Amino acid sequence: MAFDGDDTLWHSETYFALTQQRFTALLSPWCDPGETADRLLTRERDNLQSFGYGVKGFALSMIETAIEASGGSIPSAALGEIVDWARQMMDHPVDLLDGVEETLDGLQGRYPLLIITKGDLFHQESKVAASGLVERFESVHIVSEKDPQTYGRIVAGLDLTSPDQFLMVGNSARSDIEPVLAIGGQAVHVPHDITWALEHAKVTPEVPVLEHLTDLLQLL
């Protein structure tokens, strides 16, 4: 049984959303909030193939958006603030979601537990270490993309007779559910309050959707 990290075990999108609020305020002399959001999302989507996921790419996308949206008139010191926000996000202590420890306690010894988390290697390793959860997991897999190939490779390395013995628990339909179903695995969806627009996807009806991670114990 594998768990996603960001917004399944610990908070992540909350900090992106808070930073984006500060960014919206910074750009308010030039853009209304809707335009800022649209411009940033477009820039993030374009940059994804060059910079990948994570805080540093987010910061670089905000900087480019700010220059473009202000027609180059934003003072460079304001762009320095954006780098500061990135540093704060990277250094932020890890906040576990409610019920995570209780849920893992209930699963301990019943199934081998894995973490499969996507994004910046350095930041994800820091978060895994700071979570205090690492001893509860048999292995931790930090990957650059969660596609069927990635899951296929991880599942092939496990001692399973069939991929349907693999269960993934996560908040992102696009990253935690769809590619797992594609390789014949099982998935449980525990949506988070906030989901990044680039992670939106439809969840197939046969996948259990839980309101809280603790509901997992009852489902199993």
- Residue 83 sits in the site that holds its own copies (CB under 8 A): yes
Tell me if residue 147 falls in helix, strand or coil: coil
Cβ-Cβ contacts under 8 Å for 199 (sequence gap 6 or more)? 172, 173, 174, 175
Note whether 168 and 180 are within 8 A (CB). yes
When binding is defined by CB under 8 A, the residue of 91, 159, 206, 211 that contacts its own copies is: 91
- In the complex with its own copies, the residue whose CB is nearer, 153 or 212, is 153
Distance of CA 94 to the CA centre of its chain: 13
Residue 63 interacts with its own copies (CB under 8 A): yes or no: yes
Options 53, 151, 166, 196; binder of its own copies; rule CB under 8 A = 53
Which residues inside 21-50 make contact with its own copies, applying CB under 8 A?
A: 47, 50
First to last CA, the chain: 11
| Interface with its own copies, residue 57, by CB under 8 A | yes
146 interacts with its own copies by CB under 8 A: no
Question: Under the criterion CB under 8 A, does residue 121 sit at the interface with its own copies?
Answer: yes
Q: Which residues of 125-151 are buried (b: 16+ CB within 10 A; e: fewer)?
A: eebbeebebeebbeebbbbeebbeebb
Q: Which parts of this chain interact with its own copies (CB under 8 A)?
A: 47, 50-54, 56-57, 59-60, 63-64, 66-68, 70, 72-80, 83, 86-87, 90-91, 120-123, 125, 142-144
